Structure 1
Amino acid sequence: MHLRRLDLVGFKSFAARTSAELQRGIVVIVGPNGSGKSNISDAVLWVLGEQSAKAVRARKPEEVIFAGSATRQPLGMAEVSLVLDNADGSLPIDYEEVRVTRRLYRSGDSEYLLNGSRVRLKDIIQLLLHAGLSPDSYTVVGQSSIDELILQRPDERRVAFENVADIRRHQLRLNDTRSKLTSTQANLVRVQDVLAELTPHVRRLKTQADRAQRAEAFRKELHDLLIRSFRWRLAHAHTERRQAEDESARATLEAQHAEAESTAGERDLRDVDERLATLEERFSELRPRAEAFLEQVRVAERSLAVLRERLASTTEQKSGAEAELLRHHGLLERLAEEATEAARAAGQTTDGDLPDDASRLAILQAHLADETAALDAAQAERASLQKNVETAEHGIREAEARLTRTEQHLQSLQANLAVDQARQSDRETRLASIEQELASRTTERADLDQSLARTRDRLAAAADAQHEAAARLEQAREALRVTSQQADRLQGALAALGATDLSRRDDAELPPDWQAALQDLPVLGLAGQLATRIRPIDLLLAGYLRRTVVLANDEAAREAHRRLTTRLAADAPAWAVLSMDGLLLAAEGARPLERVGDEGQSVLADWSRQVRRLEAELAAAEAQRHAALAEVQTARDSLDDAEADERGARRAFGEIEAHLIELQRAESAARAEVQELQAAHERAMRMASQHSEERLRATTRADRTREELAVARRERDALADQLRQLDEQVSAIGERVGQARAEMITVEATAGRREAERAAREALHARIEAEMASNAAAREATSARLANLRGQEAEITERESQLTRELDAMQAELTPVERELESAEARRVDLLAERQLTEQRLGVLRAAERAAHEVREARHVAAQRATDEVERLNTEIAETAEMEAETYGGAAWAEQLRLRFDGLAEPLEAFDLEAARRRIATLQRELRAVGGVAESVVEEYRELSERHAFLEHQSADLRVAMAELESAAAELETHMRERFGEAFAAIQAAFQECFSELFGGGEARLVLTEPDDLLRSGVDIVARPPGKKLQGLLSLSGGERALTIVSLLFGLLKINPTPFCVLDEVDAALDEANVQRFANLLAEFARQIQFIVVTHNRATMDKSDAIYGVSMDAAGVSHIFSVRPRSIAASAPAETVSAVGAVNAETNRAPKGVPSGEL
């Protein structure tokens, strides 16, 4: 491996790009003093990673960049590259040629490149250490390095020995390991601090997560019970509907059968009438024979027949009137039931739904109008920003044009001073453009002020709406809480009435022995004293309630019951303990509530009605709470949207404000620049010698214009970002407008449906009332007609009796006629009897027919009621699903209910509905008791617990890593100690050998200052030149010290040779004889190591394989040219020697601008 090429640009005096192709062996660099020879060795040291400016002969890092001269401008960057031949693989990288580059910018930024790729300095140092190359090794040795080695303390001198022992990279690894160990310890402390902070949070969240899991279990059980109860009720409703439909069908068949039988009876009656008519004809035949004698008999008989017919007709009319009266009575009962059912169905839909829907519709319409206005405003703002983007792009194009004009003006400044006037005109044009843009921005700022005011108004309106909705929610919650407490107290009081004896009625207050027993418990008083909170209690329950003590909670009630049971005598009056939560604990032996009587039954009924009323109020309050919650959420959403719009407007306002300030600054700068150009133009006209300075100022102005162009481009990008954000806001507002419109359509449809249902129910109720009034009037008319018929029947019966008596008298007188007509009369009587029986049977059949029709109508009504019950249950399921989904279950709850109940027709299993209802109420109370726990608590607990477990695992890993790092550090120290000891012994021998060769004898030794601590021991040097005694390095003469250090240098190279070594005038302090020995030793080592030597000694030049000359032109820029002395010496040795001497004797007489190349 060797150094193939060295490239420099902008480094110290090498302003132009300079390359030097280097070959193996000895390369000598010569040139006059001050030409820049040592800058080459500084460049090699700098590119190897040297961080000290002093080491490269500079006060600060930026001084290595070419600083310019009177005729050449300074550069903004220094770059040095080493091209290494890595064909032997000395560097662990898959390249045969490795290019290491270092750059430094005048801004202070620097970068390192490896084969054109940016890398870290650490990567460069670790890679080059594999070949023994580093800035603090003996790769680059100058005259100052020789002096430093002489003057170094023993502990500073050991660095060179560490490089030879190849433990520098191990030292870096050890330092890195110790740094990692320190960092690991700090990380462990931080992890433990975080764990200490997280542990209480994890415990707190675990408690909340347990509550959330309990609530989730309650919700699941509640959902399951609701589903099972609804399924059971719905299945039974379906069953009842099918049974009612079957019974209706059977009643229809029975009615049809009764109609058929009634028709047959009427046919039989017609047959009897026909036979009677025949018999009458027979009588007509007999009448002529006894007409005269039987005239009176016929008259009597006709009268009797007429009376009987009237009687039969009256009887029939009476039966019809009675049947009609019964029918009207049944119809009135059915209409009353329908009216009750309609009233109950109407009561299920509260009158407040329509006003709520109307209010909600108005709110949605207002919200839609607001969102539409916001959409229009956002679109207008988007159009404005689009115009701003176009304006900014136009400004960028103008700035680019100005930059082009400025650069052209800079190039032509030396040729034509008149260009200054054109530049002044361009600046004035730019000033006008800035003023125009400033006016545009001012207008835009005014528009943004108006938009911000509108957004603030929307924000205030949304905040007011949220406050109003929150107030309504608080009112609903308070009403729900009060109603729940009243319902619970009434339920507890009703339960207490069923378990306590009411026979004793004493009006005593809390007895002293009770006060002693309950003195430290939260006693609220006697139930009789607190009864006024529910309703005025009558004397029936006063005795019991005055022996019932009320406490604040269940736990206190149980403790009071235990104490009273222990302290009170067994024969004490009956007593009981009641908590405000409804827990009732009675004394042992208390009789249940018996023989309450009418007054007590009235009280119980009144309390039961109050309980039902409070339950209805509780449901209404719950519905109001849900509505208020929805309004609060809507108000919050509106408030969030308004706040987001305000933040966007504020952000845009701030950006426009900042841009205005920048434009004002740019305007001031442009005006100042115009004035400066005018003054510069006048100065240029007066003094042409200042042309160079004017060119520098033009360069500065071009840079500033470029910066302004970059700022304008960033402004354009920012405006484009604003435009994209506004596009997103417009899309979001459009989505919210669509949602508001869909919700408004839904609310309008719901309001219309409810209005139609209420109108239908009112029409049904009016029709039922009209029918009831009509039937009542008909029933009264029928009753009057029935009374009239009964009177007529009595009169006819009386008349019949009278005619019968007259007929008996006539029969006594007309016995012969009777005997004659006896046979005919007997037949006639039989027919009349048969007719009467037939009429009676027909009346029964007609009554059966009417009854069948009534049963059919009743079954049809029952079937319709069963159908209505199924529909009511479906409605109740939907409403319950919506309420439970909003309160507990999430958006999929209603869909789950619908899927579970579709197509259900039969009961699935035995089910205790009452027990399920009690359990549902218990679960709802449990959910209220658990309270609201955010759904994110479980997820937060899981994430936090995972983080806690992860940190604990990390803590354990960090402890393991610390142990591993400590073990690795110990292993590295042991290895470094062994390597340093072996290398020190080898260097000792090589140093002695090189010292003897350079001095022609003598003795030199290396001494460890701390032999027991090889990792910290310094290295001292003692030497004995020939003919002298052994003494320290500082005791030797200057030449002896230099030669001793050179001996040490060659000893180090012999033990651990580097691929190349740069020697900068290390032979300057040697005399001619010692220089010759130095050159001989250099040639011997050159078989293995590539040397780049800066020297003035001819003996060293004679050993070289290539010579490079360095010269400096009049502009202060160094150039390199090469000479190959061996090829020239073969043809003309004398001329070569003189040419080389001429190079050293040259004193800045090199031609101006000599390029690198071979002479």
Structure 2
Amino acid sequence: MRISSIQLDGFKSFRAETTLTFPKSITAIVGPNGSGKSNVADAFRWVLGEQSLKAVRSEDQTDVIFGGSAKQHKLSRAAVTIRFLRDENDNKGNIDSPEIEIRRKIYINGESSYELQKRSARLLDIQLFLAERNVGERNYAVIGQGQIDEVLRRSPADRMDFFYEATGVKKYQIKLHKARLKLSSSRERISQTNALLKELGPRKSYLEKQAGEYARRKNIMDDLSKKYRIYYRGLLFEFDAELARKHHDLQQLEKEFKKAETSALNLESEIERATSDFSHGEKDARIMSEISRLSCERDLARESLREVQHSARERLLGEGKFDIAFLRRRAQELEELLTAIRKESYELEASITQITARFVAGEKEISKIAQTILGLKNHQTFSKLVVIEKLEEIVEFTDSARVKKELREFIEQLRRDDIASSISEREELYREQKAAHDEVRIELKVLEEKRGMITVGERRSRSEYEDVKLKLQKSEFGVTEQLLKDVELVISERKIELAEIDAGIKKYEDERRELTREMDSGRLKLVELQKSYRGAEEQKSHVSDLLQAVKIDIVRIETKREEAVREMVEKVGEALAETISNTKDTIQNPNDLRALKADLRRLEHDAALIGEVPEDVLAEYKEVKERFDFLTAQSSDLDSAVASLEKISLELEREIKTQFAEKFHNLNLAFGAYINELFSGGNGELSEITIQKENDEGNIVERDGVEITAHPPGKKIKHTGALSGGERSLVAVALLCAIISSNPPPFVILDEIDAALDEANSKRLADIIQKLSARTQFIIITHNRTTMEVADSLYGVTMDDDGVSRLVSVSLEGYE
């Protein structure tokens, strides 16, 4: 791998973007002091990961940004990009591009970043990349004036890092460092994991127990839920079946009650009709009145006929002369008869008025009794409703079903008996008043008929009286033949009338006998109907009692069912309760239901013993268990990782020790050879030593170190501190050349390391560099003409009065 170019953008004095390409093995960068040529060396150090501000000659990390000048304003960022051409046999890492690019940027706010192949990278990634290719981020990758001399001045222990890098074991040390960091991190994580496991263990055990209890309770509750569904379905089915039976009984009883009620109403109607049949008494009174009237008329007609015959006979015996005295006497008798009729008529009118008042009063009494009976019947129905209402109120305030039932039956019986007794008494009174009223009606009818007869008799007597008076008047002027004819006509009419009256009397007497027979039969029928009516009422009352009992049973069963539904809702929830209520299951054997109820009580007891377990315990247990299992697996993985890292660390330590020993041996040989070459004789040696030192805790610890000895020709010097400045410079150059030759890096940047050498030694160093350039790329910042002569290409750095460095490139190929 070799450097193909470096690009500076705003870095120190290189304000503008400046690119240096390195096509050959040796490139020299020259320029006067203060031109900024050493800033190129700083750019190499900085982009390769140098973290020391002193190494890049800065006091603050942002000092590498162009700070401005009198003619140029300052910048806000700086960037350096270095590009490498990858060797064909470089298969390290996962980079397959022929050109590799590393970029480092920094902003004025201090924010910085690295990029590897234009991707964000860490410093450790950059260091490992370089170490794998035998390039260190400092020490001998970029070597400045006096830097090797500084190594000579260090103590043996402090030189170890330099020689680790010089021998190429730095990459193993980085890997070992990373392995140890991981090992330390893994052990810390193991400690944390074990602490968490120790903390989670009791919680996991507790939750595991709780989860077990929850599972047991869930199984019990699932069993309960299943059996609740079966139990309540069966229980509700029993209630529904019993309610269906009761409703069927209720319907049957209602039919029976309606039938009994209809029968009672029909019998009541028949009784009313039978009772109304006693209006035949009116017919009988009318018949009797007609008979009486006709009898009176017959008597009057007979009397009239006798009188007419007698009068006619007397008149005929008196030679056709009318007996005026008789007529006068007859007129007087008729006048007296009219007076008697009028008196009887007045008395009859008074009796009719009195009986009519009694009749009206009787009707009012009957109406009042009928209203009372109707009210009592209505009260009977109302009382039953009130009793049910009161009974339901009592049910709400008592817990004893037996007391509820007894109170209900007792109050109902009292109300029913009292009202039934009152109705029976009123109906009996109604029948008595009705009979008395009928008698008054008949009596009134008879009097009316009698009044009619008297009126008729009065009219006839008055007519006869008027006729007699007329005849008397006519008799005074003599009897005519026409009068005789009239008398005969009257006699004939009286006879016809008498015959008609006799026929009418006979007809009415026949009707009266038939009516009497019908009334006797009607009375017997009425007695039977009243007996049947009382039986129908008793049956209706009995059925009503049974109806009330069935309704009470229905209320009781519905109450129990509602209690069962409420209990079911509490047990299984409203949604499931609704599903159960709509499901029609049955349990054939009631004993199964009792056994199921016993199972439910046992399961409820078991659930109560377990108690309530939070529903989220499973989720928490699952979470804790997953966490515990994860940590257990993680602990196991970490144990495996620790074992693996410990193994890797041991292998890396062995590899470092083996590599260092081998490379250090070769380095020692090369160092001795270059001492001899540069000093034209003499010898030098690198030796590994162990140093014991007391640490801060007062303990003795051992540390490795490297001792450097050099013996110029003719001198015996124990340590490098006794060498002169020129001799120490040559020892430093010899050490540098030994490192490069024994462990050739892909490139080396030398920053004025030849400044202290004379021309002869400069010539020797130039020759060595030219030989080493076969395997290592050299970029040399120098003032030395001899060094410039071996360069393949040359960059000149200048700076104008604006404080900005600029480049001039010259190719020296072909020049001698």
- TM-score normalised by structure 1 residue count: 0.46
Q: Which residue of 2 aligns with 1:130?
A: 132
CA separation of 1:36 and 1:913: change in aligned 2, threshold 3 A: same
Confirm whether residue 965 of structure 1 aligns to residue 677 of structure 2.
Answer: no
Q: Which residue of 1 aligns with 2:179?
A: 177
The aligned amino acid for 1:187 is R
Confirm or deny: 8 A CA contact 1:2 1:86 kept in the other structure: yes
CA separation of 1:916 and 1:834: change in aligned 2, threshold 3 A: farther
Confirm or deny: 8 A CA contact 1:255 1:849 kept in the other structure: no
Q: Which residue of 2 aligns with 1:895?
A: 575
The aligned amino acid for 1:22 is F
CA separation of 1:1002 and 1:102: change in aligned 2, threshold 3 A: same
Question: 3-state DSSP class of the match of 2:20?
Answer: strand
Q: Which residues in structure 2 correspond to 1:1077-1156 (within 5 Å)?
A: 1077-1126=764-813, 1129=815
CA separation of 1:1126 and 1:786: change in aligned 2, threshold 3 A: same
Q: Which residue of 2 aligns with 1:155?
A: 157
The aligned amino acid for 2:153 is L
CA separation of 1:334 and 1:909: change in aligned 2, threshold 3 A: farther
Q: Which residue of 1 aligns with 2:663?
A: 983
Q: Which residues in structure 2 correspond to 1:564-713 (within 5 Å)?
A: none
Q: Which residue of 2 aligns with 1:343?
A: 393
Question: Which one is further off, 73-82 or 118-127?
Answer: 73-82
CA separation of 1:109 and 1:115: change in aligned 2, threshold 3 A: same
Q: Which residue of 1 aligns with 2:5?
A: 5
Q: Which residues in structure 2 correspond to 1:791-830 (within 5 Å)?
A: none
CA separation of 1:854 and 1:1101: change in aligned 2, threshold 3 A: farther
CA separation of 1:854 and 1:982: change in aligned 2, threshold 3 A: farther
Confirm or deny: 8 A CA contact 1:238 1:906 kept in the other structure: no
CA separation of 1:266 and 1:1123: change in aligned 2, threshold 3 A: closer
Q: Percent identity?
A: 31
Distance 1:259 1:895 in 2: 47
Confirm whether residue 231 of structure 1 aligns to residue 233 of structure 2.
Answer: yes
Say which of 742, 763, 782 aligns to 2:424.
782
Q: Deviations over 1:921-955 (max 9, x none)?
A: 89889988877765445544553454445444444
Q: Which residues in structure 2 correspond to 1:360-439 (within 5 Å)?
A: none
Q: How many residues align?
A: 629
Distance 2:551 2:180 in 1: 91
Deviation at 1:1113, TM superposition (A): 1.4
Question: Which one is further off, 911-920 or 153-162?
Answer: 911-920
Distance 2:666 2:531 in 1: 144
Confirm or deny: 8 A CA contact 1:3 1:82 kept in the other structure: yes
The aligned amino acid for 1:21 is T
Q: Which residue of 1 aligns with 2:317?
A: none
Confirm whether residue 1071 of structure 1 aligns to residue 751 of structure 2.
Answer: no
CA separation of 1:122 and 1:852: change in aligned 2, threshold 3 A: farther
Confirm or deny: 8 A CA contact 2:682 2:712 kept in the other structure: yes
CA separation of 1:152 and 1:268: change in aligned 2, threshold 3 A: closer
Distance 2:655 2:546 in 1: 107
Deviation at 1:69, TM superposition (A): 3.1
Q: Which residue of 2 aligns with 1:17?
A: 17
Q: Deviations over 1:485-527 (max 9, x none)?
A: xxxxxxxxxxxxxxxxxxxxxxxxxxxxxxxxxxxxxxxxxxx
Deviation at 1:204, TM superposition (A): 6.0
Confirm or deny: 8 A CA contact 1:328 1:776 kept in the other structure: no
Q: Deviations over 1:618-648 (max 9, x none)?
A: xxxxxxxxxxxxxxxxxxxxxxxxxxxxxxx
Q: Deviations over 1:595-621 (max 9, x none)?
A: xxxxxxxxxxx9x88xx99xxxxxxxx
Confirm whether residue 1017 of structure 1 aligns to residue 708 of structure 2.
Answer: no
Q: Deviations over 1:851-892 (max 9, x none)?
A: 7767877787777667766765675466556656xxxx7xxx
Deviation at 1:8, TM superposition (A): 1.2
The aligned amino acid for 2:37 is K
Confirm or deny: 8 A CA contact 1:240 1:866 kept in the other structure: no
Question: Which one is further off, 31-40 or 50-59?
Answer: 50-59
Question: 3-state DSSP class of the match of 1:1017?
Answer: strand
Distance 1:909 1:1047 in 2: 114
Deviation at 1:1106, TM superposition (A): 0.8
Q: Which residues in structure 2 correspond to 1:188-199 (within 5 Å)?
A: 188-199=190-201
Distance 1:330 1:212 in 2: 63
Q: Which residues in structure 2 correspond to 1:216-295 (within 5 Å)?
A: 227-251=229-253
Q: Which residue of 1 aligns with 2:687?
A: 1007
Deviation at 1:52, TM superposition (A): 1.0
Q: Which residues in structure 2 correspond to 1:69-108 (within 5 Å)?
A: 69-86=69-86, 88=88, 89=90, 92=93, 93-108=95-110
Question: 3-state DSSP class of the match of 1:1120?
Answer: strand
Question: Which one is further off, 1022-1031 or 925-934?
Answer: 925-934
CA separation of 1:1118 and 1:124: change in aligned 2, threshold 3 A: same
CA separation of 1:1090 and 1:871: change in aligned 2, threshold 3 A: farther
Distance 2:258 2:60 in 1: 123
Distance 2:433 2:526 in 1: 25
Distance 1:778 1:260 in 2: 18
Deviation at 1:964, TM superposition (A): 3.0
Confirm or deny: 8 A CA contact 1:324 1:782 kept in the other structure: no
Confirm or deny: 8 A CA contact 1:2 1:24 kept in the other structure: no
Say which of 166, 169, 177 aligns to 1:167.
169
The aligned amino acid for 1:244 is K
Confirm or deny: 8 A CA contact 1:1109 1:1122 kept in the other structure: yes
CA separation of 1:907 and 1:73: change in aligned 2, threshold 3 A: same
The aligned amino acid for 1:1070 is L
Question: 3-state DSSP class of the match of 2:129?
Answer: helix
Question: Which one is further off, 856-865 or 162-171?
Answer: 856-865
Distance 2:384 2:226 in 1: 39
Cα RMSD between the aligned structures?
5.3
CA separation of 1:175 and 1:87: change in aligned 2, threshold 3 A: closer
CA separation of 1:836 and 1:175: change in aligned 2, threshold 3 A: same
Distance 1:83 1:144 in 2: 28
CA separation of 1:1021 and 1:44: change in aligned 2, threshold 3 A: same
Q: Deviations over 1:1096-1139 (max 9, x none)?
A: 12122111111000111112222122111225x4xxx7xxxxxx
Question: 3-state DSSP class of the match of 2:658?
Answer: helix
Q: Which residue of 2 aligns with 1:526?
A: none
Confirm or deny: 8 A CA contact 2:376 2:419 kept in the other structure: no
Confirm or deny: 8 A CA contact 1:11 1:64 kept in the other structure: yes
CA separation of 1:246 and 1:1008: change in aligned 2, threshold 3 A: same
Deviation at 1:41, TM superposition (A): 0.9
Distance 1:1063 1:869 in 2: 114
Q: Which residue of 1 aligns with 2:355?
A: none
- TM-score normalised by structure 2 residue count: 0.64
Q: Which residue of 1 aligns with 2:738?
A: 1051
CA separation of 1:100 and 1:239: change in aligned 2, threshold 3 A: same
Confirm or deny: 8 A CA contact 1:244 1:859 kept in the other structure: no
Q: Which residue of 2 aligns with 1:187?
A: 189
Q: Which residue of 2 aligns with 1:115?
A: 117
CA separation of 1:264 and 1:91: change in aligned 2, threshold 3 A: closer
Deviation at 1:49, TM superposition (A): 0.8
Confirm or deny: 8 A CA contact 2:261 2:540 kept in the other structure: no
Deviation at 1:95, TM superposition (A): 2.6
Structure having the higher Rg: 2
Q: Deviations over 1:552-585 (max 9, x none)?
A: xxxxxxxxxxxxxxxxxxxxxxxxxxxxxxxxxx
